[in-house]
Amino acid sequence: MTTTTHTRVSVFNAITSRNFAGILMAFVTSTIMIPGMTTYLPLSASDQIAVPILLFPFIWTGLCIYSYLATKVWHAWTLMAALTLVHAALCYVALTS
């Protein structure tokens, strides 16, 4: 007769890093995405500005929730860093051309 021991694996590992990513990095990423989105949205000039501003709370909420639901904390950091870099590059290209 064999008995099995169930070990509980914590869903939230690295909670400090997840909190930091979920609150601060999600805010920075969504803030940088706003001007970056104006470069590629196929809308009129006024809508290119209004739509990203209206989407800001949804983007921030989605990134925050993702930072807690990601299986590994570095997935959230990598996603937000990539989004930040891509949209910062789009802002740079839009300002210099």
- Each residue's pLDDT expressed in tens, for the chain with a length of 97 residues: 566 666 665 656 788 888 898 899 999 999 999 988 888 888 888 888 899 899 999 999 999 999 989 988 899 999 999 999 999 999 999 889 8
Specify the pLDDT at position 42: 86
Please give the full DSSP string across 29-97, using - where no structure is assigned.
HHHHHHHHHTTT--S-HHHHHHHHHHHHHHHHHHHHHHHHHSSSHHHHHHHHHHHHHHHHHHHHHHHH-
DSSP state of 11: S
Specify the pLDDT at position 43: 84
DSSP state of 22: I
Specify the pLDDT at position 3: 65
